[in-house]
Structure 1
Amino acid sequence: MGVEIRVEGLRKSFGRQVIWDDVSLTIPAGEISALLGPSGTGKSVFLKNLVGLLRPDRGHVYVGGGDVPRLRERDLYRMRRTFGVLFQDGALFGSMNVFDNIAFPLREHTKKGEAEIRRIVLEKMDMVGLSGSGDKLPGEISGGMKKRAGLARALVLEPEIILADEPDSGLDPVRTAYLNQLFVDVNAEFGTTFLIVTHDIGTARVLPDNLGLLFRRGLVMFGPREMILSSTHPAVNQFFNARREGPIGMAEEKDVAELAAENAPAPPPAPIPPQLMPSDGRIRPSMHRPGEWLAAHGVTPPPGSFVDENGRDWRTEWDALVAARRHPRP
């Protein structure tokens, strides 16, 4: 099962440049969370602080009871085994074939024999759709295959947390959809905690259980997907609905007209799409009936919410899935 990450009062700067000043959030154990924000807001820097590759100016990062910025080197090395990391470009070793890239953490961090390593690697390659590609070099495979190889490598030590840094970068929409489905299926199978940094609004709207937005040296909002996608907060509304109107511009400096537009009422949120389901149709423990959070907080769903491209209302579909689980066919 996954592990909770609790961040308190995190501040990070490089010289006089403050990246963010006071970030606090809890990434729930066993759930899929995504962190977004305009370029330059420190999303990748945030991931590096979580695993201790960078140390914050102040604040705490609690993972499994330890405070990452204050761990000794030996304890930090041990704690990092809690994480699997999927880097933006896959970060495969160019001189190693796909099999050896995926096997590398097992050979580096365990005393397993080659027969056991082969079994684990082939299992993970099959899981991510790379069966038969083990002998290929990274230069001989596509960008999507590199991402899947990177995910397989992140999985071989069976981490409790997976951090993914812009996994959809450079992928076309179809490959992005396949990768998102892999994340959902891995979470459903193992209960792994996911934190995904992305720019892709399509991914953010259908994949995670929780969403967050970094902007102007801070965390604007973090919480359940429905809370974020129904929000009328100017920056949140603008970003997650991909609109030009709002406080996020091409630059931090704004003229009088832009500042006036910032204070204008936010337009209504776009319809909230259904959340991506696991391939086998099961309901993940962290999933809830579409509209449940909205109903509990007295928020009316935007018109057209929870209806998929085939016209199916997933509130009805959800009820059918729950009924089928309660009364399975003999």
Structure 2
Amino acid sequence: MGVEIRVEGLTKRFGRQTIWEDVSLTLPAGEISVLLGPSGTGKSVFLKTLVGLLKPDRGNAWIGDRNLPQLPEDLLYETRKLFGVLFQDGALFGSMNLFDNIAFPLREHTKKNETEIKRIVLEKMEMVGLIGAEGKLPGEISGGMRKRAGLARALVLDPEIILFDEPDSGLDPVRTAYLNQLIVDLNAQIGATFLIVTHDINTARTVPDNIGLLFRRELVMFGQREMLLSSEEPVVRQFLNARRVGPIGMSEEKDVSELEAEAAAGNDPGKLPPIPPQLMPSDGRVRPTQHAPGAWLRAHGVTPPPGSFIDDLGRNWIDEWPRYVASMGAAPAGGVRK
């Protein structure tokens, strides 16, 4: 099972520039969380701070029972072994074939022999669908395959936390859909805590259990997926609707006069679209951390837009969910979350 991450009042500055301040959130153990935000709001900086590559100016980042900013170097080094990281471009070594790229952390951080390394590497390559590509160089494969190779490398030390820095960057919509399904399947299989930084709205709407949004140097909102997807916050509505109307401007944020002019013209970021069903694992089982469709909305008295949980096959998942869980036999914990 994954490790809980608890962030309290975290602040990061570069000189006089504040990247974000007083960020507080909890990434529940074993769940998939997504962090959204306009470009330049410090999402990647947040990931680097979580893994201890950057030190915050203020605040705490608890990884289980360890407060990362206060750890001595030896304990920080050990705590980093809890993490696997998928970088934006895969960050593969161009002169190494895929096998050696994926084996690198094992050779660097463990004393395993080559027989054991080969077993682990091939196991992780099979998990991401790369068996048969062991001898290829990064320059000989597609962007989607490089992402999967980077993910296999992130998995070889069996991390309890996996950070994804814009995994959909540079991928077409079809490859992004395949990668999203792979992420959900891996979470169901290994139970690690996942945090995904992304700009892809479809990923944010269908993959995670929890969503957060960074804007104006602060965390606007973080919580269960349906909380954000039904929010009336203008910046949330603008971002999820991909509209020019709203607080987000071309460079970063709009000033008061621009917002007043939009309001006077009757412009509005628009209502949020219907909430789609959450992506299910390929094998049909319910993830232990998965919430029943509509559970948060019912608990908080929020009425979703009509058709909010109807999928491409016309199934209404609010009605279908209990039958689906019953058809799976003995329901895992995710099947009864309300």
Task: Give runs of aligned pairs for residues 92-171 of structure 1, distance below 5 A.
Answer: 92-171=92-171
Match among 293, 296, 304 for residue 293 of structure 1: 296
Deviation at 1:225, TM superposition (A): 0.5
Per-residue CA deviations over 1:112-137 (Å, capped at 9, x if unaligned) read 11111101111111110101000000
Q: Write the distance in 1 (CA, Å) between the matches of 2:133 and 2:215.
A: 41
What secondary structure does 2:328 align onto? helix
Inter-partner Cα distance in structure 1 for 2:258 and 2:247: 11
On the 8 A contact 1:232/1:266 being kept in 2, the answer is no
Deviation at 1:267, TM superposition (A): 3.2
Work out whether 1:58 is the aligned partner of 2:63: no
Q: Secondary structure at the match of 1:101?
A: helix
Residues of 1 paired with 2:21 and 2:327: CA distance?
48
Which amino acid counterpart does residue 228 of structure 2 have in structure 1?
A: I
Tell me which residue corresponds to 1:323.
Answer: 326
CA–CA distance in 1 between the matches of 2:261 and 2:296? 33
Paired with 1:79 and 1:259, the residues of 2 have a C-alpha distance of: 48
SS at match of 2:117: helix
User: Which one of 272, 275, 285 corresponds to residue 272 of structure 1?
Assistant: 275
SS of the equivalent of 1:222 reads strand
Per the alignment, residue 18 of structure 2 pairs with 18
Amino acid across the alignment from 1:213:
L
Structure 2 residue 287 is the aligned partner of structure 1 residue 284: yes
Q: Distance in 1 between matches of 2:106 and 2:309?
A: 42
Return the offset for 1:326: 3.7
Amino acid paired to 1:295: R
Residue identity in the other structure for 1:321? Y
The 1:180/1:327 distance shift into structure 2, 3 A limit, reads closer
8 Å CA contact retained: 1:233, 1:266? no
One-letter amino acid of the counterpart of residue 284, structure 1? R
Residue 262 of structure 2 is aligned to residue 261 of structure 1: yes
Letter in 2 for 1:67: N
SS in 2 for 1:149: helix
- What is the TM-score when the length of structure 2 is the normalising length? 0.94
Ranges in structure 1 where 5+ consecutive residues have no aligned partner? none
Q: Report deviation, 1:22.
A: 1.1
Give how far 1:161 is off: 0.2
Matched, 1:180 2:180: yes
Q: For structure 2, which runs of at least 5 residues remain unmatched after alignment?
A: 332-338
Percent of paired sites with the same residue: 72
Shift of 1:320: 1.9
CA contact (8 A) 1:50 1:61 kept: yes
Amino acid at match of 2:285: R
CA apart distance, 1:242 = 1.9
Q: Secondary structure at the match of 1:35?
A: strand
Structure-2 residue corresponding to 1:78: 78
Name the amino acid aligned to 2:159: P
Q: Secondary structure at 1:52's aligned position in 2?
A: coil
Q: How many residues were matched structurally?
A: 328
In structure 2, the CA distance between the partners of 1:106 and 1:327, relative to structure 1 (3 Å rule), is: closer
What letter is aligned with 2:66? G
Residue 327 of structure 1 and its aligned partner are, at CA, apart by 7.3
Please tell me whether the aligned partners of residues 4 and 29 of structure 1 are also in contact (alpha carbons under 8 angstroms). Answer: yes
Structure 2: distance between partners of 1:260 and 1:82: 49
Q: CA deviation at 1:266?
A: 5.7
* One-letter amino acid of the structure 2 residue matched with residue 291 of structure 1: G
Are residues 1:91 and 2:91 paired? yes
Q: Could you tell me how far 1:61 is from its partner in structure 2? A: 0.4
Output the CA distance in 2 between the equivalents of 1:177 and 1:121. 25
Task: Map Cα deviations across residues 210-260 of structure 1 (whole Å, 9 max, x no partner).
Answer: 000000000000000000000001111211222222111213343624334
Q: Which residue of 2 aligns with 1:221?
A: 221
Q: Provide the aligned C-alpha RMSD in A.
A: 1.5
Q: Give the Cα separation in 2 of the matches to 1:72 and 1:165.
A: 26
